[in-house]
Amino acid sequence: MTGLFPPGSGGGEEVAYGGKGKGILIHTLTEGNGMPLSNCTTPANGNEREQVLPLLDKVKLKTLKRGRHSLRLKVLAADKGYDSKQQRAFLTQRGYSTPNTTRESGKKRKTLV
């Protein structure tokens, strides 16, 4: 799952000022080889973590079998903008496996000189 930031010119419903300037965020859920499964756009100042569940709910993987045999995604890997303890707990509760990576706080470590 990734979020891209194309700069926006002019205005519009989803154009807003974010950390990198004025524009929108494009959230895309892809499979392991890079094929897009679902996507959505939000204003540049939107919260990335709020887009995880809507993106997952849009995905329905179909099999070639008759009846209601649909597959679910099993493993979910995302960049650090989508990561939080609450999000991981909720995804685990819904049956998704998440890799054991943690979001770094962004603070510089103090070093002894």
Average pLDDT, the chain: 72
List the beta bridge partners of residue 42.
25
- Tell me, what's the pLDDT at 3? 58
- For the chain, what percent of residues have pLDDT higher than 70? 61
Tell me the one-letter amino acid at 102. T
- Tell me, what's the pLDDT at 38? 87
**How many residues comprise the chain?**
113
The string of pLDDT tens digits covering residues 25-69 is: 888 888 888 888 888 888 877 777 888 888 888 887 776 777 665
Task: State how far the Cα of 3 lies from the Cα of 28, in Å rounded to an integer.
Answer: 6
- Tell me, what's the pLDDT at 42? 82
What residues does each domain of the chain span?
A: 2-63+70-93
- Tell me, what's the pLDDT at 109? 46
Task: State how far the Cα of 57 lies from the Cα of 54, in Å rounded to an integer.
Answer: 5
DSSP state of 1: -
- Tell me, what's the pLDDT at 37? 86
